Amino acid sequence: MKNIVILISGRGSNMQALLEAKLPCRIAAVISNRVDAEGLSIAKAHGIPTAVVEHRNYADRDSFDTALAKSIDAFNPDFVALAGFMRILSAGFVARYHGRLINIHPSLLPAYGSLNTHARALHDGVKIHGCTVHFVTPDLDHGPIIIQAAVPVLQDDTEQTLAARVLREEHRIYPQAMRWLCTDQIELTGQGKVLLKRRKQIGHTLFSPGLE
């Protein structure tokens, strides 16, 4: 059975979705870069070992990343899942976990990388927004895409209502992506594309606003 380590920085709702999804893997540990991350107590309540590597205690990014990697490697993970982990990781760190480092991002990448994704989508007036699970590469928010979920942007949406609609789907696609990874159903090609093995290609068109 595969081992997963989850990295968080805060609330931990995506981590919780992974813990509650009954994935065919062992969640070996949850590691936070903030001692006050709310998700740590949720992990403890689920009986998952936790660790904290506080970025503030390190002089620079490389020394933090080295300490973080040491903490992760102690749990011998097959995959490292970033779940609201809000630190930019160095190229060396990303290379160390090539093909094993996964992230969830609250937009339909490559649109709206980085921060404030919902506010920027609202500002631009896009009618469809969403979330993405992808492999991490040194290019911030640009790695090979495993799964995306699209949601409509409604006329009276606020940043909060849109964020909540996207978050509901984050909690569905992250467990799905990790399930595929843990059961060897994902192939990452040399061209940086993700192929899904043994699975029919299905999907539905989302119109937003809807057709009449």
Which residues, 121 to 180, sit near ligand GAR by CB under 6 A? Answer: 167, 170
Q: Which stretch binds ligand GAR (CB under 6 A): 69-77, 103-111, 120-128, 150-158?
A: 103-111
Asked if the peptide bond before residue 209 counts as cis, ω within 30 degrees of 0, the response is yes
3-state secondary structure of 177: helix
- 115 versus 195: smaller Cβ distance to ligand GAR: 115
Residue 143's Cβ-count burial label (10 Å; 0-12, 13-18, 19+) is buried
Find the shortest distance in angstroms from Cβ 8 to ligand GAR. 6
The residue sitting closest to ligand GAR, measured at its beta carbon, is 84
Residue 135's Cβ-count burial label (10 Å; 0-12, 13-18, 19+) is buried
Maximum distance among all Cα pairs of the chain, rounded to whole angstroms = 58
Structure tokens at 68: 């973080």
Which residues, 2 to 31, sit near ligand GAR by CB under 6 A? Answer: 8, 10-14
If binding is defined by CB under 6 A, does position 65 make contact with ligand GAR?
no
- 85 versus 198: smaller Cβ distance to ligand GAR: 85
- Which of 27, 53, 104, 149 binds ligand GAR (CB under 6 A)? It is 104
- 12 versus 143: smaller Cβ distance to ligand GAR: 12
- Which of 43, 97, 102, 105 binds ligand GAR (CB under 6 A)? It is 105
Find the shortest distance in angstroms from Cβ 100 to ligand GAR. 18
* DSSP string of 12-43, one letter each residue: -HHHHHHHHTT-SEEEEEEEES-TT-THHHHH
Find the shortest distance in angstroms from Cβ 159 to ligand GAR. 12
* Number of neighbouring beta carbons within 10 Å of residue 167: 17
User: Are the C-beta atoms of residues 68 and 49 closer than 8 Å to each other?
Assistant: no
As annotated, the active-site residues are 105
Find the shortest distance in angstroms from Cβ 197 to ligand GAR. 26
Q: What is the DSSP letter of 106?
A: S
- 8 versus 149: smaller Cβ distance to ligand GAR: 8
Residues near ligand GAR (CB under 6 A): 8, 10-14, 39, 83-84, 104-106, 167, 170
